[in-house]
Structure 1
Amino acid sequence: MALYLVQHGRSLPREIDAEQGLSSEGIAQVERIAGVARGYRVRVSKILHSGKKRARQTADIYGRLLEPAGGIEECAGLNPMDDVSSFAGRVRSDENLMIVGHLPFMEKLTSHLVAGSAERRVFKFQNGGIVCMDKEAGDRYWFIKWTLMPEIG
């Protein structure tokens, strides 16, 4: 089974949208990456997102294209400065869960799961991209299986 970590798509500046919803570029990027994931037959059982508008909108786009059986749900503990170690304890390796959140939380969660330290960055996220992680039975740490990112340069 896999764990899919997603940083929300590009958002509007606070001066334009106080809630910082997705920009038109952000919507297009997320739709493109979600479409590629669908083309590769990525199976997601459920999508969790923070309560922020940009994360909810990103989760909705992924949900529309990947059709998770367990639906889409807001989840506490996914805000930018939340504690990754307490959230990591809730992550299971026996479901295809997608988590949509923010920086620095997503990078720190990845580092915590892969290296055992939230402070050792192991991957640099891009808005709207997917980091697919997996874990072998009995292993303590996760590994990065593949990624889909909007930009390769």
Structure 2
Amino acid sequence: MKLYIAQHGAALSKEEDSSRPLSERGRDDVRRLGRWLAHAGLGDIEFVHSGKLRARETAELIAAAVGGTAGEADGLGPNDDLAPWLTRLGDAPGDLALVGHQPFVGRLATRLLNGRESPSVVAFEPGTMLCLEHGDESWTLRWMVGPVLWG
């Protein structure tokens, strides 16, 4: 199984727009990420996102680029408990992509990679995605990409 974990793209501040949609830079970064993923061969996959607008927009833009689907899921908020997702991942029938928020995405990736939530072993920034692959009994980091790669 492959698990893709993404932090939403850069968003407007609360002062600019209380719903915090993606900023223009955030949209550009996420579109670039989507093109990179499509070129890398990521195809028909389910993207699940938190209920926050910036996560939904990120998931929808990436899903459109790779031919996937996007839908909302509970438990992907910034400070949500990891336990429900650890259980769900154990029962997942196939590959899955999660689009959420810090510190949740960093805690989840760290927990899967080393069994603890901290200290973090990955450095997410808005518009970053990583790929973890589950082997016999452990998860391995396959790649991590984000705006730092395309300036």
TM normalised by structure 2 equals: 0.93
The 10-residue stretch of structure 1 (27-36 or 41-50) with the greater mean CA deviation from structure 2: 41-50
Partner of 2:55: 55
| Structure 2 unaligned spans of 5+ | none
Separation in 2, partners of 1:114, 1:13: 32
State the match for 2:142 in structure 1: 145
Structure 2 residue aligned with 1:74: 72
Report the alpha carbon displacement of residue 13 of structure 1 after superposing the two structures with TM. Answer: 0.4
Query: Identity percentage over the alignment?
Result: 32
Q: Which structure shows the bigger proportion of residues in helix conformation?
A: 2
- Name the aligned partner's letter for residue 52 of structure 1: K
Q: Which residue of 1 aligns with 2:106?
A: 107
Cα deviation for residue 94 of structure 1 reads: 4.5
The CA deviation at 1:86 is 2.7
TM-score (norm 1): 0.92
Aligned residues: 149
Paired with 2:104 and 2:145, the residues of 1 have a C-alpha distance of 19
- Structure 1's unaligned 5+ residue stretches are none
The aligned counterpart of 1:84 is 82
For residue 85 of structure 1, report the CA deviation from its aligned partner: 2.7
Q: Output the CA distance in 2 between the equivalents of 1:83 and 1:117.
A: 13
Secondary structure of the corresponding residue to residue 89 of structure 1: helix
- Once the two structures are TM-superposed, the CA of residue 133 in structure 1 deviates from its matched residue by 0.3
Task: Output the CA distance in 2 between the equivalents of 1:144 and 1:31.
Answer: 23
Report SS of the residue matched to 2:88: coil
Q: How does 1:26-37 map to 2 (within 5 A)?
A: 26-37=26-37
Secondary structure of the structure 1 residue equivalent to 2:107 = helix
Q: CA deviation at 1:18?
A: 0.4
Change (3 A) 1:148 1:44: farther
Cα separation, 2, equivalents of 1:113 and 1:44: 24
Partner of 2:5: 5
Instruction: Return 112-121 or 26-35, whichever deviates more.
Output: 112-121
